[in-house]
Amino acid sequence: MSAEQSELFYQDLLDTCLTAGELMIEGGSEMYRVEDTMLRIAKSAGEPDPRVFVVPTGVFMSLDHGNYCQSILVHERNINLELVDRINSLSRAFADKKITLQEVKREVDKIAHGGFPTFPLWLQTIGAAVLSATLMVMFMNNYDWVDFPAAAFVGAIGFLSFYYFKRFTNVKFLAELVAALVMTIVAAGLVNLFPKMIIDNILTGALMPLVPGLALTNALRDLFKGDILSGMAKICEALLTAFALGGGVGIVLKFLGA
């Protein structure tokens, strides 16, 4: 392999691994899984000593004993386990020699540029409504069935508020705060119209789609795997989300004197 071919190979391998790692972090993957996937791709391509360092806000990788080194920043982190599974499946298919490095790079680039299918907004909203109502039943021992549709409605409104407000701001926690404010105002209005409803039951269910349960679980898994920095960063992020949701509810309830 000539020097030019070698440089092109390492550049393609770095681009593929870094983009794959970025997508997995954006999908909500644990850091150890990101590292494992990137190392699997690099070693399957014939790189004997790949080195990877992953944190929730960036990915760093070097190849050829440090002669080729790059990093990539991660600006957005969501929960999309299908995306994580897709990237992981590509790495395993490449490790099993079912596809080539160029095919992996092409698929990863396609996903990175919006080529990965997602659920439509209406279906996500229905999912948020169903989740809100069913989790209200799970968590609340004493409730009236009249709270069931109310929790679904408020949960759907809260999810839509979060979705649309997030498009106009890069501050995720501000979008969560606004969503909590909207949910509490709507729930308070329903309780005024239908006095039999209990606002605590409604809000308990409606907040669940935005509660960072999976993020906190992944943070603990990172801590147990020894990724202290990533685990603590994710725990802080989950706590900020919890404070934003709780603050939004508390502000409205305090203002209403509830």
Task: Give pLDDT, residue 18.
Answer: 93
What is the number of domains present in the chain?
A: 2
143 and 241 both lie in a single domain:
yes
Separation in Å, CA 36 to CA 32, 98, 210, 213:
6, 19, 29, 23
Which of 115, 144, 161 terminates a domain? The answer is 115
Q: What is the pLDDT of residues 52-76, one digit of tens each?
A: 998 888 899 998 888 888 989 888 8
Predicted TM-score (pTM) of this structure = 0.81
Separation in Å, CA 130 to CA 6, 87, 170, 182:
53, 29, 28, 19
Domain that holds residue 227: 121-256
Task: Give pLDDT, residue 169.
Answer: 79
Task: Give pLDDT, residue 116.
Answer: 67
Which of 81, 96, 115 terminates a domain? The answer is 115
252 and 127 both lie in a single domain:
yes
pLDDT at 187 over 90: yes
78 and 128 both lie in a single domain:
no
221 and 193 both lie in a single domain:
yes
Task: Give pLDDT, residue 39.
Answer: 93
Separation in Å, CA 201 to CA 40, 103, 132, 148, 218:
47, 50, 10, 9, 28
Higher pLDDT, residue 258 or 17: 17
86 and 174 both lie in a single domain:
no
Task: Give pLDDT, residue 153.
Answer: 94
150 and 46 both lie in a single domain:
no
Which of 80, 115, 150 terminates a domain? The answer is 115
Task: Give pLDDT, residue 161.
Answer: 93
74 and 197 both lie in a single domain:
no
Task: Give pLDDT, residue 198.
Answer: 87
Please compute the mean of the pLDDT values over residues 145-159 and round it to a whole number.
91
pLDDT at 208 over 80: yes
Task: Give pLDDT, residue 112.
Answer: 86
135 and 103 both lie in a single domain:
no
167 and 224 both lie in a single domain:
yes
Contact, 31 vs 56, CB < 8 A? yes
Task: Give pLDDT, residue 6.
Answer: 75
Give, in degrees to the nearest 5, the angle at Cα 28 between 27 and 29. 100
125 and 231 both lie in a single domain:
yes
